[in-house]
Amino acid sequence: MRAARLIVAACLASAPMFGAAPALAGSAAPPAIPLAPAAPVACQLPPGETNAPVEPWAQRRFDYDRLWKLTRGNGVTVAVVDTGVDADHPQLDGQVTRSIDISKTDTRDCLGHGTKVAGIIAASDQRDRNRAFVGIAPRAKILSVKYTNQEHSNGADPNLARAIRAAADADGVRVINVSSTAPDTPDLRAAVKYAQSRDILIVAAAGNVQDEQKGKELPAYPAGYDGVVGVAAFDENGQVSDFSNVRTQISVAAPGQNITSTWPGGGYAVDQGTSFATPFVAGLAALMRSFRPKLTYLEVANRIRATAEGGAGAGSGRGMVNPFEALTAEISNTAPGAGQPKIAVRPVRIDPPPPTDTRTRGIALAVTFGALGAAAMVAVAGVVIPMGRRRGWRPGRVELPAESSRSSE
């Protein structure tokens, strides 16, 4: 009994630590508020492919080695607002500087989505170890900001706006990748403007659509906000992918079909979607902010749009991005207004043609017409001479009448 009383006393003494006040004599005890249990997290992803020995088509398309002669993204951090990132993946080890969990489900990537996005941006170059896959900006760094642990969300998710703000507040972030879409809300709009006020470029997916949704105007934010680069998906033939949303605001397109990238647990996976087109553009932005650090976020967006390869129909924006041109082209960044940045390419001087040489032209015309005349004479002779030979070449003779002869005398 004495032991039992000690246990009860200990429990009452510890109650204030958990927010339950002891009951006072003559008063009703307030209801206890239980602690919120940690959200259950199931990380049981299937293993990915053990290696990516073949160079993916997007890498060949953009010719990474040519870009890396200029920059590899040194000194730039890209925030991946997504499902988390597996920082222990061999090609992301050392690339992920920090992981923030807004979702309250821990920082692990239990869907694989964020890990694939991060790999496309900044997977380290390990081709000397027979790993053909590499990120477009392999010396950029990744900040993982996990805002969800779900494949899909119904309606607006307030954590998305919170994650964008958290990314904007982190040191060194120059680009934010958002490979998801959401409805337009005041909180999301304000978060985007907050990041832009800190000179951070947001690159966002324009969204995927099902067959029954094609042709419908669907909410796709933050891609639809001013100053945000909205990205569509192209296939290997340079055409808009069937799943890419063609009815929302599109800035540019990037490879989004049959895309190889990193997968949690050290493997690799192939996937498709505008989610995986977006990080190619975010990685390009990282290269640009490393190579041209004085450009503002709007000037970076301006260059990406201005140097794209041209539209390919509805939903393609200005077409496939051209990373080398975006880095090197001479572009006049005029001061944009509140809307999309204006594009003004510097005029290129074209030398006038040399003066016409009339004497030489006259001689040439005379020779040409002379040759044509001679050819015509040869052709006529080829017809007339055989006819004459058949007639024996006898000249015709005309006899004048007698009256004509006398009158002529």
89 flagged as catalytic:
no
The catalytically annotated residue of 99, 103, 241, 275 is 275
Q: Are 260 and 270 in contact (CB under 8 A)?
A: yes
In whole angstroms, give the CA distance from residue 192 to residue 187: 9
Q: Which of 86, 99, 113, 251 is catalytic?
A: 113
Known active-site residue 152: no
* Nearest residue to 217 via CA among 248, 253, 190, 181: 248
Sign of CA dihedral 155, 157, 158, 163: negative
Pick left, alpha or beta for residue 209 (phi over 0 → left; psi -120 to 50 → alpha; otherwise beta). Answer: beta
82 carries an active-site annotation: yes
Q: Tokens 């094609």 sit at which residue?
A: 214
Q: Which residues are catalytic?
A: 82, 113, 275
